[in-house]
Amino acid sequence: MTSVFDRDDIVFQVVVNHEEQYSIWPDYKAIPNGWRTVGKSGLKPECLAYIDEVWTDMRPLSLRQKMAETATAQ
């Protein structure tokens, strides 16, 4: 059985969590708790290209904030 995430002919939504980490989720499924849509949907390659464009810092938000606080304190 093929996972829906292995298919390129399914419409996905781009989702993001509170740590500003991005993922894709099948358009026909309910968004899991802790995630929200960003308003971008399309075929898997389109959604992944969008994520590549906007997710430029892979560090979780909490880590970025902590590092910024540490840098400011020095």
pLDDT value, residue 14: 99
Which fold would CATH assign to domain 4-73?
A: Rubredoxin-like (3.90.820)
**pTM (predicted TM-score):** 0.84
DSSP collapsed to 3 states, the chain = CCCHHHCCCCEEEEEEECCCCEEEEECCCCCCCCEEEEEEEEEHHHHHHHHHHHCCCCCCHHHHHHHHHHHHHC
β-strand partners of 14: 24
CA 52 to chain centre: 10
pLDDT value, residue 33: 98
Q: Which of 12, 70, 17, 74 is nearest to 43 (CA)?
A: 12
pLDDT in tens, the chain (74 residues): 789 999 999 999 999 999 999 999 999 999 999 999 999 999 999 999 999 999 999 888 889 888 888 878 77
Domain assignments of the chain as residue spans, ordered by start: 4-73
pLDDT value, residue 61: 87
